[in-house]
Homo-oligomer: A and B are copies of this chain.
Amino acid sequence: METYEILRDLAIILFVAKFCGMASRKAKAPQVAGQIIAGLLLGPSLLGLIHPSDFISQMAEIGVILVMFSAGLETDLSDLIKTGPKALAIACCGVFVPFLCGALLYFGFYGYDGFKTANFFAAMSIGAIMTATSVSITVAVLQELGKVKGTVGTTILSSAIIDDVIGIVVLTFVIGFKNPGEKPSMVIVKTILFFIVACIGGIITYRMFKWLDNRRPHTQRIPILGFVLCFALAYVAEKYFGIADITGAYAAGIILCNLKDADYIDDKAHISTYMIFAPIFFVSIGLKTSLDFTDVRFLLFCLAFVVVALASKIVGCGIMARICRFNFSDSLKIGVGMMTRGEVALIVAQKCLSVGMISSQFFTAVILLIICSSVLTPIFLKLLFAKEPATAD
């Protein structure tokens, strides 16, 4: 492929994503839903104008990273600490309930034939796929609604981050059962180690940024060095600690969120993100979907999978939120905000496939879940928040 060919993809993706995003907004749904539908339209299963490529995956990756960095920057650290224990409880319950429901759903459809059989591992995989919330879509919606900084927004974000970590631990445990080469204890040690490194490194980095910022506020160097921190931490998290890169990017945002120029960095990051990278990310989700409707039992399974995945998150997180003394409306918002699935669910499915625990057929169910949750969550969240006035963000 000639290098200039990417310009064609860029022009088409940005145009159709903007057009569908605007149409989606007109229909009172957030832009993000329209952008995913733009991907479906453009992808191989419908118009076939754009084909998934390394370039699109890489731009989409930067998009996810920057969305998460932005979310971190917009976090109020004191709020996060305040919501900490509650978020932990919500995340745990929001992992346990879907995992259990997912496994039971699989046994219900395909039968239980004993411990450590192929069926057993497939059921564990389906459960593991259901656990991880994809916070990026929720964040984009909360940003659009101006609700990132509220108690509900912060609780959703904190829970989703913790739930990501737990989800990855669950996955490693499930795989560890099947493959004796991977030690579950190492996963826990590595995760704890990452947070220690991020904390110590974060304090030092924050001081350096503060010094720079006091010396020359509002200069280009601040957001550029912020980007450097974001990309570096995302890379280190994934490469050396086996933690999702988006968690690293979010941590980088949190490190800088108390800086005087945090808004300035966020503003610059926001422009690059929303102008180019984020639309490509959301379109790429739509692109990956291949629509295939032949096996009736499997189709029914897919539908049940989606319903169970969404409902179990709402119930799991919602009930724990209610126990944590949120009112009914806020508990529902938290449950709905946590029901989005995205790249992490795909990564888990990919991992389960690669160790032979599920067949590639189940990918369709995961993609259906991602699409449904990404389209439904924004609509539901917008409806739930409709009664309140938007707070300044």
A residues sitting closer than 8 Å to B (CB atoms) are 3-8, 10-11, 14-15, 18, 22, 54-55, 57-58, 61-62, 65, 220-221, 223-225, 227-229, 231-232, 234-235, 238-239, 245, 268-269, 271-272, 274-276, 279, 354
* Assembly CA distance A124 to B246 (angstroms): 48
Interface of chain A, helix or strand or loop or mixed?
helix
User: Which of A4, A11, A57 gathers the greatest number of chain B CB atoms within 10 Å?
Assistant: A4
Residue in contact with A245 in the complex, picked from B4, B65, B224, B268, CB distance below 8 Å: B4
CB distance from A140 to the nearest CB of B (A): 13
CB distance from A313 to the nearest CB of B (A): 26
Report yes or no: B61 in contact with A4, Cβ–Cβ below 8 A. Answer: yes
Report yes or no: B8 in contact with A354, Cβ–Cβ below 8 A. Answer: no
Report yes or no: A8 in contact with B235, Cβ–Cβ below 8 A. Answer: yes
The copy count of this chain in the complex is 2
Residue in contact with A6 in the complex, picked from B61, B229, B268, B272, CB distance below 8 Å: B61
* Assembly CA distance A10 to B62 (angstroms): 10
Report yes or no: B18 in contact with A221, Cβ–Cβ below 8 A. Answer: yes
CB distance from A8 to the nearest CB of B (A): 5
* Assembly CA distance A291 to B279 (angstroms): 40
Report yes or no: B3 in contact with A58, Cβ–Cβ below 8 A. Answer: yes
Report yes or no: B54 in contact with A18, Cβ–Cβ below 8 A. Answer: no
Report yes or no: B221 in contact with A4, Cβ–Cβ below 8 A. Answer: no
* Assembly CA distance A54 to B5 (angstroms): 12
CB distance from A7 to the nearest CB of B (A): 4
A235, closest chain B residue (CB): B7
* Assembly CA distance A220 to B283 (angstroms): 18
CB neighbours (8 Å) of A54 from chain B are 54-55
* Assembly CA distance A302 to B220 (angstroms): 34
Can you offer 16 A-B residue contacts whose CB atoms are under 8 A?
A: A3-B354, A5-B235, A7-B61, A7-B62, A7-B232, A7-B235, A7-B238, A8-B231, A8-B232, A11-B235, A18-B221, A18-B225, A22-B221, A54-B55, A223-B275, A271-B271
With A14-B228, A228-B15 given, is the CB distance from A235 to B275 under 8 Å?
no
CB neighbours (8 Å) of A235 from chain B are 4-5, 7-8, 11
CB neighbours (8 Å) of A220 from chain B are 274-275
A230, closest chain B residue (CB): B11
User: Which of A7, A232, A269, A275 gathers the greatest number of chain B CB atoms within 10 Å?
Assistant: A7
Report yes or no: A4 in contact with B238, Cβ–Cβ below 8 A. Answer: yes
CB neighbours (8 Å) of A271 from chain B are 268, 271-272
A279, closest chain B residue (CB): B224
CB neighbours (8 Å) of A224 from chain B are 14, 18, 275, 279
A15, closest chain B residue (CB): B228
CB neighbours (8 Å) of A61 from chain B are 3-4, 6-7
* Assembly CA distance A232 to B4 (angstroms): 10
